[in-house]
Every structure is written in structure tokens, then in C-alpha cells.
Amino acid sequence: MTWQLIFTEQYNRRAAKFLKRNPAIESQYTKALELMEHNPHHPSLRIHALSGRLSGLHSISINLKYRITIELIITEQEIILINVGDHDTVY
């Protein structure tokens, strides 16, 4: 079973800026997206629900420093990508 990743225009702009500033982690970013597409609950992604103003969203880890926030729509097998960046940027 695979999940459909939905890349919004806003997310694509954020991701392009993020990758321009952090070209060294592009392969880790790509690997995280591939893992998420096949199994968003893979242990290395460290998925967890967010609370407060980000309630309803989840976060996954690219590595120990960088995260992607996502909206996980379980009934449709869809993952809408929201934001990407370091801990302080996405939270």
C-alpha cells in the first residue's frame, strides 16, 4: 500500500528555498519523502502528532535537525505536505 504525497504550490516554494539553503541534505530529504510514501509510520521518520496552534498536523524527521510538517488524511491514503525546515521554522 502506498500513500499519495500532495505537493501544494506553497509547499513547493518552501521546499525549494529550504533545499537551496541546505543542498547537503537533499538526499536525506528525498529518502524521507520516499519512506513516507511507502510507510509514513516507518520508525526512522519518527512521526508524531502536533498540538497547540499546529493541532491536526503531524511532523516527520528528515534527520535530527530538520522536519517536515504534514497533514495525514488516513481515509484517503493522502499526505499533504505543509512545511519543511529546522525545528524552530516548522514549529
Please give the Cα distance from 24 to 38 (Å, whole number).
24
pLDDT at residue number 80: 92
Q: What is the Cα–Cα distance from 78 to 91, expressed in whole angstroms?
A: 22
Is 33 or 76 the better-scoring residue by pLDDT?
33
Gap between the Cα atoms of 60 and 45, Å rounded: 5
Residue 90 has pLDDT above 80, yes or no: yes
Q: Which CATH number do you get for residue 16?
A: 3.30.2310.20
CA distance 84 to 91: 10
Average pLDDT in the chain: 93
Domain count of the chain? 1
- pLDDT number for residue 53: 92
Give the whole-angstrom CA distance, residue 67 versus residue 90: 7
Mean pLDDT value across residues 24-36:
96
What is the bridge-based pairing of β-strands 4-7 and 78-86?
parallel
Structural domain boundaries, residue 72: 4-90
Predicted TM-score (pTM) of this structure: 0.90
Identify the pLDDT of residue 30: 97
Q: What is the pLDDT of residues 58-69, one digit of tens each?
A: 999 999 999 999
Residue 68: other Cβ atoms inside 10 A: 26
